[in-house]
Structure 1
Amino acid sequence: MSSPAEFYNSLPPISKAFGTVCVATTAAYHLGVFNPYYAALLYAPVFKQFQVWRLVTNFFFLGKFSVNFGIRLLMIARYGVQLEKGPFERRTADFLWMMIFGAFSLLALAAIPMLWTPFLGVSLVFMLLYVWSREFPNAQVNIYGLVALKAFYLPWAMLALDVIFGSPILPDLLGILAGHLYYFLTVLHPLAGGKDMLRTPRWVRKLVARLRLGQPAQVHSQPERSTGTAFRGRSYRLNG
């Protein structure tokens, strides 16, 4: 059995960075050195006082240390990591672009008054969960040892649990919407004969290469991966 340090070091870079910043943000809140108000997504200060950092910082606060916080963190550690090590293996730039696209989509949705929520971190986690559920739709998932179901239905099951436990469901719904939009543009639409409109920009690839994230060979292996095994796998799952 690996030690906690070995487990942490084995995590892929993007999921590890996202989870680490979320933990650090909540720890800073409990230590009294971080006020969530100054990280919340408030569009008036963004546009009137140029507090543009709010467009980013709101994604890293998952709430106080609690059972819900632990569940969200475990979702990153399981579903985000499985995505990054599975369908996005050697494709760190593509995984980062998925996260960036999801963040922009959530910001656009939250700009609608009835869909606004001050923190979109939970929504981004649910986006990861939704994409994972579409990549592994037939995987068997056991929820708290009580209910077994296919992964395809897991986002909706988690949303139902939030309803039962009295947690707000708007962040969950926003994450599901963003995840479906990403999956539609990158998988469903191209499979139906449409154009791939969401290719990873060159600047994201250059950023990943400059920071030396992921495996060194990812840039060279990407074209073969995206047009080979990964595409056939996704096509098979859609028919399933």
Structure 2
Amino acid sequence: MSTPAEYYRSLPPVSKTYGVACLMTTSAYYLQLYDARNIALDYGPVFKSLQVWRLITNFFFLGSFSLPFAVRLIMIAKYGVSLERGPFDKRTADYVWMFIFGAFSLLVIAAVPFFWYPFMGISLVFMIVYVWSREFPNARINIYGVVSLKGFYLPWALLALDLIFGNPIKPDIVGMIAGHLYYFLTVLHPLAGGKFKFKTPLWVHKIVAYWGEGTQINAPVQSNPSAGIVFKGRSHRLGGTQATTKSTAEQNEGNASASSPQPQSQSKGIAFQGKSYRLNG
């Protein structure tokens, strides 16, 4: 069984960063370090007083410490991590773009007064769950050990639970709308032969490359030399000069031994010496 520290280090970067940010935001609120009204989404202060941070900070507050907060954090740890390790494996920039696109879509939807909610982080988490349900429609889900259903119906089951427990269901519905919009543009529309291609912008690839965490297949940019030391290390191991020098030396040594004839008994001894040299040399 792994320790909490080992589990934390094993988490993929995007889900880990977002989950920790939400946990720290709620912890600071619990310690009364700020007023939640100062980070809530309110378009009045955004345009009148230029409090633009509200467009970002509202996504990191999932409520005060409670059972609903724990459930939302578990959603990130379970379904967000599953997406990042599954369909978005080695596609860190695409996964970051899903978060950015989802947040932007939720801000646009929240401009309609009926869909507005002060903290859209709940909707962003529900968007993750919806995308997961479309990527893993046949996965078996067990809810509280009572109901077993397919992954495709998970968002609707969670929506029904929030309705039963008396939690607001508006954030859930808005998150499902944003999730379906993203899934339609990235999966359903291309499969239907649509000409419009919804790709991750180049600037998102640059951010991920500068960040130096995660990987991206066929990334259009190179990692930052100072931030992406991990990538340099991998490149060095694959095509570095040390490996070339070692292979050249072994080849020369093999040619030299092959060109000098030796008795059969000595060749057997040399074979054993060669193995001993490779193991303990």
TM-score (norm 1): 0.90
Aligned position for 1:23: 23
Task: State the match for 2:11 in structure 1.
Answer: 11
Give, as a single letter, the amino acid of the residue that structure 1 aligns with 2:209.
Answer: A
Q: 1:79 to 1:66 in 2, by over 3 A?
A: same
Matched residue, 2:149 = 149
Q: What does residue range 29-108 of structure 1 map to in structure 2 within 5 Å? A: 29-108=29-108
**Number of matched pairs:** 220
Distance, in Å, in 1 between the alignment partners of 2:121 and 2:102 is 11
Q: 1:189-218: per-residue Cα shift (whole Å, max 9, x none)? A: 111110343200000001000001203xx2
1:138 and 2:134 correspond: no
Look up the SS of the partner of 1:220 in the other structure: coil
Distance in 2, Cα, partners of 1:159 & 1:50: 35
Taking the TM superposition and a 5 Å limit, the aligned residue runs for 1:206-225 are: 206-215=206-215, 218-220=216-218
Which structure has more relative contact order (CA 8 Å, sep 6+)? It is 1
Separation (CA, whole Å) in 1 of partners of 2:192 and 2:217: 27
The verdict on how the C-alpha distance between 1:2 and 1:196 changes in structure 2, with shifts beyond 3 A counting, is farther
Q: Is residue 112 of structure 1 aligned with residue 141 of structure 2?
A: no
Provide the rounded CA distance (Å) in 1 between the counterparts of 2:166 and 2:146. 19
C-alpha contact 1:25 1:34 (8 A) present in aligned 2: no
SS of aligned partner of 1:26: helix
Paired residue secondary structure (1:149): strand
Q: Is the 8 A contact 1:15 1:76 kept in 2?
A: yes
Q: CA deviation at 1:221?
A: 7.2
Q: Distance in 2 between matches of 1:8 and 1:129?
A: 21
CA distance in 2, matches of 1:101, 1:198: 11
The verdict on how the C-alpha distance between 1:182 and 1:122 changes in structure 2, with shifts beyond 3 A counting, is same
Q: Secondary structure, in 3 states, of the residue corresponding to 2:218? A: helix
Aligned letter for 2:106? L
Q: Is the 8 A contact 1:59 1:124 kept in 2?
A: yes
Contiguous gaps of at least 5 residues in structure 1: 223-240
Secondary structure (helix, strand or coil) at the match of 1:142 reads: strand
- Please state whether the residue corresponding to 1:148 is helix, strand or coil: strand
- Give the superposition deviation at 1:88: 0.2
Give 1:46's aligned amino acid.
V
Alignment of 1:192-231 (within 5 A): 192-215=192-215, 218-220=216-218
Aligned position for 1:124? 124
Q: For structure 2, which runs of at least 5 residues remain unmatched after alignment?
A: 221-281
Q: Which residue of 2 aligns with 1:184?
A: 184
Give the conservation status (yes or no) of the 8 Å contact 1:109–1:116: yes
Deviation digits for residues 21-67 of structure 1, max 9, x if unmatched?
10000000010102111100000000011000000000000001011
1:160-179 Cα shifts (integer Å, max 9, x gaps): 00000000000000100000
Which residues in structure 2 correspond to 1:157-176 (within 5 Å)?
Answer: 157-176=157-176
Letter in 1 for 2:137: P
